Structure 1
């Protein structure tokens, strides 16, 4: 992957404990669950997840719907922003963009989110989505607001 993290030798950025099974279970009744999005890995400075290319996620021409790519990107960046923010803080999306570079017709699309900026009140995340052949299909940038407890 050509994108570099915040540092050459990443240190863990997470400020809250996480458990992948509990994280995925918390998606019950959400858009992510309906679309089949799964968080599959959290490394020291990244979040990885995937979405199936199936009847729930395709557009009428048989391709992965571009909006589903954006939902996956925002889901990954949002999870990262939440766990990289201090205890008691929450994270909400401010802006997202996506460039669709290639289509996917079947299988799984996997995304990886890494921080570009981890500030006190905002975070910026870069998300790459690839198909099963590891071809880049979408690049996205997500800006998050970090909200202090009320």
Structure 2
């Protein structure tokens, strides 16, 4: 992995402090040279289980949205002097396999990168590379508002 990519991964992993990404123990582990694919991992813990002992689909959505929005963030961070934000405006998921323990991996890939919208595919799989869920995310790129509370 190129030094620049490792620096970007470090930035993402440092940026997550005091956020839901940190609470869920999501760690960014790979960034492709073209900056279009990002992989992260998340352990399945008692915090991510639903009452019947299986991994909760909502936790999977958190993983997918975290990785999917982060790949868009990486792709806009140098545009317009860091004056842009990324927000997910739509996410859909199909959960195709249940899981009770282990580590989940999320592989996010931008399949359309427009000036305003990014469409991202996120595949969630286990340590044996079995697909658990597949998700689609729509991110909107907007100019940062200096006063976010102003109506």
TM-score class, shorter: 0.7 to 0.9
| Greater C-alpha radius of gyration | 2
Report the CA distance between 1:19 and its aligned residue. Answer: 2.6
Question: 1:9 aligns to what?
Answer: none
SS class of match (1:115): strand
Counterpart in the other structure of 2:148 = none
Which residues in structure 2 correspond to 1:1-150 (within 5 Å)? 18-43=7-32, 44=34, 45-85=36-76, 86=79, 87-88=81-82, 89-150=84-145
Aligned residue-pair number? 136
TM-score by length of 2: 0.84
Which of the pair is proportionally richer in helix?
Answer: 2
Q: CA deviation at 1:42?
A: 0.7
Contact 1:78 1:92 in 2 (8 A): yes
Deviation for aligned residue 1:118: 0.2
Say what the alpha-carbon RMSD is for the aligned residues: 1.9
Normalised TM-score (structure 1): 0.84
Gaps of 5+ in 1: 1-13
CA distance in 1, matches of 2:115, 2:58: 29
- Show structure 1 runs of 4+ deviating over 3 A: none
Unaligned runs of 5+ in 2: 146-151
